[in-house]
Structure 1
Amino acid sequence: MIIATLIIGVIGLYLSFVMMKTGWVRGILVTVFGIVMLGSLYLVNANDRSHFGMKKQTTTTTHVIYSASPNKALPMLLRQDVGTSGKRQVYIYKLSEKGKTTHTQADYLVTNHVAKTSKKTATLKTVKTEWVYQNDFYRAFFSNQNNHKLVKASNTITIPNAWANLTTAQAKALGKQLKQAQNPSAADKAKMAAAVQQAVMAARMKNPQMTAAQQQQVIAKAQAQLKQQAIKAAIKAVTAK
């Protein structure tokens, strides 16, 4: 509506100033359309610079998020620097287990904080402050321009203790290390076998009547623990660089 008002003011001023003969009617019309044009320009500027007709609105939303890693055994939250200063980052995650990765808003008005929790679910809590119109009249008058313009936003990402928080570069380095670990040396294989055997012996001492099925459970548990230890060691290695 403000654009239409501005156009009417410009056209009316042109027609009355150029097309009409000198007289009191012309003077009145020039004054009226001049005020309409200048008033429209002023209101457009006031809306753009001072948010005339608008108010600040703060909303809080919380979403469950999922690991950015396709490997369920290695859940992680990824981060990527914004710009070259290294002071701002976007965080990469998923909104569903099988969905595509997404990230927090890449804007210098957005701040991010990561916290750990003993819970098994990761969440993203966003507190956002925006400029919105005071009522439908102002929204229609300014053609919805600048509506929901961001003032500031803060994200609190809470991830389980088991999750890793890595940069994209660290995640790539971790992937290479884990790929290499899939082909262990003879010495590493011997260490793993000895550790599994030690776990079986300890379990037998506690339960001499252990069945073959129970022994397999002990072996599987020991192997899973060794795998987790290897992953933790690899994460520690890439984050130490």
Structure 2
Amino acid sequence: MMILVMAVLAVFTFYAFIFVKNQIAREVLGFTGVLLLLGAVGLTTLNFNAHWGMKKVTTTQTKNIYSAAPDQLPVKLLITQEIGTKADDYVMVYRDNANDKQAKAHFVPNKSDMNQLIHTIARYEFKAVNQATVTTETTRWRFDSDLSRWLFGFTGIDGSLVKKEHLVTLPKQGWQAMTAKEAQAMQAQMAAKMAH
């Protein structure tokens, strides 16, 4: 709607400066149109650059997760692969449901969605809890009023991602986090022990 407002103000300003005969009326209407047009452009710029008329809305979702290791193993595993070297960001392998036959990778970066790639992080921690969980906290820009939505709805930034954080919380007792290579080595050791 703001584009239509700016177009109307531009036509109004043009009309005031060109077609109004009375000099005082021309200057008052013309400069009023210029000021209103500059205000509309300024508000649109503020909306694009500083998210004026918007607020951050955060949603949180927590669900249980289950070991990536087979049920026969005495220890429960979270298999991790760090993304980068100092990012504290991981791809993690676990099962979503206790009866899933295979564990699957989670938080694999989507290279085709640059906004999500930049603003998403996944990490893990050990705490004194009984059940392993993953908590996803998503923060998005939302219009803070119906007026803002009406004026700036054309921008397409409503719902744009600010940040998305996945936190896997593991019990201190009975769980381990390790890389895929470490998990394979552990399985080989367990198989060798069982063979003897």
Q: What does residue 157 of structure 1 align with?
A: 168
List gaps (5 residues or longer) in structure 1.
193-241
User: Superposition pairs for residues 74-153 of structure 1, below 5 Å?
Assistant: 75-82=76-83, 84-92=84-92, 93-96=94-97, 97=100, 101-103=105-107, 106-107=117-118, 110=121, 112-117=123-128, 119=130, 121-143=131-153, 145-150=156-161
Count of paired positions: 179
How much identity, in percent, do the aligned residues show? 25
Greater relative contact order (Cα 8 A, min sep 6): structure 1 or 2? 2
CA-atom RMSD in angstroms: 4.1
1:172-202 deviations in whole A, cap 9, x for unaligned? 45336746976x5xx984xx2xxxxxxxxxx
1:26-59 deviations in whole A, cap 9, x for unaligned? 6566435433432222112222333322334444
Q: What does residue 15 of structure 2 align with?
A: 16
Rg larger for: 1
TM-score normalised over the length of structure 1: 0.53
Check the 8 A contact 2:91/2:122 in 1, yes or no.
no
The change in CA–CA distance for 1:26 and 1:163 in structure 2 (over 3 A counts) is same
User: Superposition pairs for residues 213-224 of structure 1, below 5 Å?
Assistant: none
Q: Distance in 1 between matches of 2:106 and 2:70?
A: 17
- SS in structure 1 of the partner of residue 80 of structure 2: strand
Q: Which amino acid aligns with 1:135?
A: S
Q: Distance in 1 between matches of 2:104 and 2:27?
A: 64
List gaps (5 residues or longer) in structure 2.
109-115
Q: What does residue 171 of structure 1 align with?
A: 180
C-alpha displacement at 1:89, in angstroms?
A: 0.7
User: Superposition pairs for residues 182-193 of structure 1, below 5 Å?
Assistant: 189=195, 192=196
The change in CA–CA distance for 1:109 and 1:103 in structure 2 (over 3 A counts) is closer
Question: Which structure's residues are more often strand, by fraction?
Answer: 2
